Chains A and B, each alone.
Chain A
Amino acid sequence: MSYAQLIGDWQALVVLFVAGVVPNQIWRMLGLWFGGGIDEGSELLVWVRAVATAILAGVIAQIVVQPPGALASVPDALRYGAVAAGLVVFLLTHRSIFAGVVTGEVFMLAGKWWLG
């Protein structure tokens, strides 16, 4: 592996900060700045937490519905089926994250293997 592959050029690092670090970090710093006076049991925080949960749910749905990279090579039905199978096992095992994730993965890999 070459020096260029390991270190890269400084322009790419500038792009990382402009397109990635700053647009991401600004929300944490706003939260640090404006979150100060808010009581942890307040009604506003219940709403804010519900919105945060729903936005994360949207990111989860986006990765499954509009998959990035190698995941796009998996047929729609297999991706949705993997989530559904994982969810059923997650609920049957008294909310075991491990069992749910493993089931989803096995479902997808088995389906991919079966379809060839």
Chain B
Amino acid sequence: MALPPLDSPQWNSSWLAFGWGLRSITQTILTLVLFATYLGIGALAHDTHFSLLWALCSTLFVWAGPAQIILITTLGSGATIIQSAIAVTVSAIRLFPMVVSVLPLMRTPTTRRRELFFAAHLTAVTLWVECHRFLPQVPRERRIAFVNGLGFGLVSVCLTANTVGYFLAANLTQTLGAAILMLTPLSFLFSTARNSREAADVVALALGVLLYPLAAKMNSGLDILVSGLVAGTIAYGVHWWREVRA
């Protein structure tokens, strides 16, 4: 399935654009990866004695795989609400620059902030990656509807996966459970690498991975933030240096 050309009448209404966004979930391997990741989250919720409704609410209202895994594992292992909240909020800091960088792709001079509310809520790694891929092929005034459709489709897939995983959990062996959890780092690493076009992106990704174990040794509780800021700033330095020389 290819998206219609920018001047096609297929983009004449917001509902059509929503439909194209919804159908675009079939155009990415990340949908399959999300399904597998949320299968694992459903299974994890079952094994840590959370209800199915709880797991579905966490997908609907948190909508960030790493935060959900952190929340379930910390609460499940007896952490306090405050400790879990701090761990979740540190993992979620990355959503701030994602939202800041993705919303300008769909904003027009007349866009009101509340029109972007759902797009902001739906922004997570997958949507962030897919927006950079799909949105250049979507007319600017239809991009919010397109993203809402894409996000609605992805959330539906994940809610289904949670339910299936929850019921499978009783039958999942430890090895299969490990395989499902391993899908998360592999898929996130390769999907981010695939979308790294500039040198700064590659440096940020590679340094971010390599600096984390060093930052973790400091045991500050802010490991990911520290390694992310340092690696990201060095990557920006590389970008700046190349621009100056060019």
Interface residues of A (CB under 8 A from B): 1, 4-9, 12-13, 15-36, 38-40, 43, 45-71, 73-74, 79, 82-83, 86-87, 90, 95, 97-98, 100-101, 104-105, 108-109, 112
Contacts and interface: CB of A to CB of B under 8 A. Distances in A.
Q: What secondary structure prevails in chain A residues at the interface with B?
A: helix
Given A8-B51, A58-B223, A31 B97 contact: yes
B194 A95 contact: yes
B209 interface: yes
Nearest to A17: B61
A20 B67 contact: yes
B216 A65 contact: yes
A53 B235 contact: yes
Nearest to B172: A70
Given A6-B51, A13-B54, A24-B67, A47 B233 contact: yes
A58 B233 contact: no
Contacts, number: 316
B5 interface: no
Interface of B: 29-30, 33, 44, 47, 50-54, 57-58, 61-62, 64, 66-71, 73, 75, 81-82, 84-86, 88-89, 91-101, 103-105, 113, 116-117, 120-121, 123, 125, 167, 174-175, 177-194, 196, 200-201, 203-213, 215-216, 223-225, 227-233, 235-236, 239-240
Interface centre among B47, B64, B179 (most CB of A within 10 A): B179
Interface centre among A28, A36, A48, A59 (most CB of B within 10 A): A59
B94 A69 contact: no
B85 to A, nearest CB: 4
Nearest to B208: A57
Contact of B181 (A8, A67, A86): A67
Contacts of B208: 53-58, 60-61
Contact of A97 (B167, B194, B210): B194
B29 A98 contact: yes
Contacts of B193: 90, 95
Given A46-B236, A52-B94, A105-B183, A100 B101 contact: no
B190 A86 contact: yes
A7 B85 contact: no
Contacts of A58: 208-209, 211-212, 215, 223-224, 227-228, 231
Contacts of A108: 178-179, 182
A76 to B, nearest CB: 12
A54 B185 contact: no
22 contacts: A5-B51, A8-B52, A13-B53, A19-B75, A20-B62, A25-B61, A25-B62, A35-B99, A39-B104, A47-B232, A49-B101, A57-B208, A58-B212, A59-B66, A59-B94, A60-B188, A60-B209, A61-B209, A63-B181, A69-B177, A86-B189, A112-B178
A4 to B, nearest CB: 7
B51 A7 contact: yes
Nearest to A95: B194
Given A32-B113, A53-B204, A57-B208, 17 more contacts: A12-B50, A12-B54, A20-B58, A20-B88, A24-B88, A31-B100, A51-B228, A54-B207, A55-B232, A57-B209, A60-B188, A61-B213, A62-B224, A69-B177, A73-B175, A86-B189, A109-B179
